[in-house]
Amino acid sequence: MANELYSLTIHELHELLKNKKVSSQEIVNAVYGRIETVEKSVQAYLTLIKERALEKAREVDDHLVNAGILTPLTGIPLGLKDNLCTRGVKTTCASKILENYLPPYDATVVNKLEHAGAVILGKLNMDEFAMGSSCENSGFFPTRNPWNIETVPGGSSGGSAAAVAAGEAIATLGSDTGGSIRQPASFCGVVGMKPTYGRVSRYGLVAFASSLDQIGPLTQDVTDCAIMLNAICGYDPYDSTSINQPAPDYTKSLSGKLDEIKTVGVIQELLGDGIAPEIKKAVEDAVKVFEKLGAKIKMVSLPSFEYALACYYLIATAEASSNLARFDGVKFGHRSANSPDLLSMYYNTRREGFGPEVKRRIMLGTYALSAGYYDAYYLKAQKIRTLIKRDFDAAFHEVDLLISPTSPTVAFKIGEKSGDPLSMYLSDIATIPINLAGIPAISLPCGFAQGLPIGLQLIGNVLEEEKILKAAFAYEQATAWHQEKAKI
């Protein structure tokens, strides 16, 4: 049994722990055994903390034996995207500029997971500073998709998604700025959720674009997603954008029925040109499942979507230009040696420390914010963002939830798009509008094409995570896609 523990869900392992049929140490050792078996092929992790994890597992087992008290995450081994600060454990953002950075504090979500008794396995690979859609922009090495190691796992949370799909973590946390949880979840055949902006504290998340970034879970099924959300959601006084409103128990929404979800809208702009035929068919088949579950289906138009990509790459790069200005070789991280003066040190530190994609986005953002161009680019993008939010508001007056593909394609070959940034950026065309509007969305498996998973995206209004999870769970129970596992 121990050899198969890595393939079980959080809720399955919780039952085994509760009934004392297995120990946390056995689970953690099983997952590390799996990592030793497949990590050379997948390359999901940047840092592993095995001794610390096993010490935590021993503490959990002693606590369970003595007190018999556990939360749904007690003793469960989890992985963290490497842009979440972990006290005394390297946090690199997959960048040379932070290669040896040891944070002096934990991110709020890390504190919450450890308070719930979770065991942290290590830090997961990503596109450098969360800038990318394939995990090829890591400053160290690319992560590979467990379904086909010649293809990308998606990005920027590619390591987080690949680890769950390969059994190298029971669940993980990622961050989502323009689809960076949902798109890799789609590519790797797992569940990934971006909560409402402000629902999860960003304190301790190394910023890419502060008005877009949001932390969320990647899990094997919808139940695990709800369990992870229960642990990480809630108000945090350390984050000025945190929503001061109690979070519900999301597991209570998992009834298997749609209940008050009467009408589901299909976004017509995301089922037209640019969406692969096999993706379109899988989503149309998913829509039929919702019809059978009792929902009324309605086609919905969101006309401002055609401007979303341009809008996003102005706002995100502008905010990145501001946020990444702190990496100057003075306060922390890499500092270029042998620079004759301060300006040379700034220049050489960033030239040596940042990768090509990060440099590209900083330059784009700096240009958009420069005198003479601010009104023409950044300010106009903010106005378009308002239009996108209004389109969503209008749609939610007509429907309870929205449906779309998560990605226009399945996972592509490693290197296939690395020389064409615009083609790479188009991978997030279905996910970017959700971040611009600050609303929640989930990706869950809905089929296969060319032997690779296809993701279905369910989108809700502000703070309607419960509605999304209810619909996602009902769909999951009516299908078997989530039971398929990567044969690595």
Residues tagged active-site: 81, 156, 180
Please give the backbone phi and psi of residue 176, each rounded to the nearest 5 degrees, phi first: -130, 110
CA distance 357 to 431: 20
Cβ atoms 239, 112 nearer than 8 A: no
Please give the backbone phi and psi of residue 277, each rounded to the nearest 5 degrees, phi first: -55, -40
User: CA 391 → CA 182, 205, 212, 304, 386, distances in Å?
Assistant: 21, 30, 18, 7, 9
The DSSP secondary structure of 418-472, one letter per residue, reads TT-HHHHHGGGTTTHHHHHHT--EEEEEEEEETTEEEEEEEE--TT-HHHHHHHH
CA distance 395 to 392: 5
Cβ atoms 123, 83 nearer than 8 A: no
Pairing of strands 263-267, 401-405: parallel
Sign of CA dihedral 79, 85, 91, 93: positive
Please give the backbone phi and psi of residue 389, each rounded to the nearest 5 degrees, phi first: -60, -40
CB burial of 408-430 (b: ≥16 within 10 Å; e: otherwise) equals bbbbbebebbbeebeebbbbbbb
The token duo for 326 is 């702190």
Up-side HSE of residue 205: CA atoms within 13 Å toward CB? Answer: 28
- At a CB cut-off of 8 Å and minimum separation 6, what does 175 contact? 81, 83, 84, 130, 156, 157, 181, 205, 208, 213, 214, 215, 216
Q: Tokens 């979070």 label which residue? A: 247
**What does the DSSP 8-state code read for residue 123?**
E
Please give the backbone phi and psi of residue 271, each rounded to the nearest 5 degrees, phi first: -130, 25
Region class of 81: left (phi > 0), else alpha (psi between -120 and 50), else beta: beta
Cβ atoms 146, 188 nearer than 8 A: yes
Residue 86 bridge partners (DSSP): 89
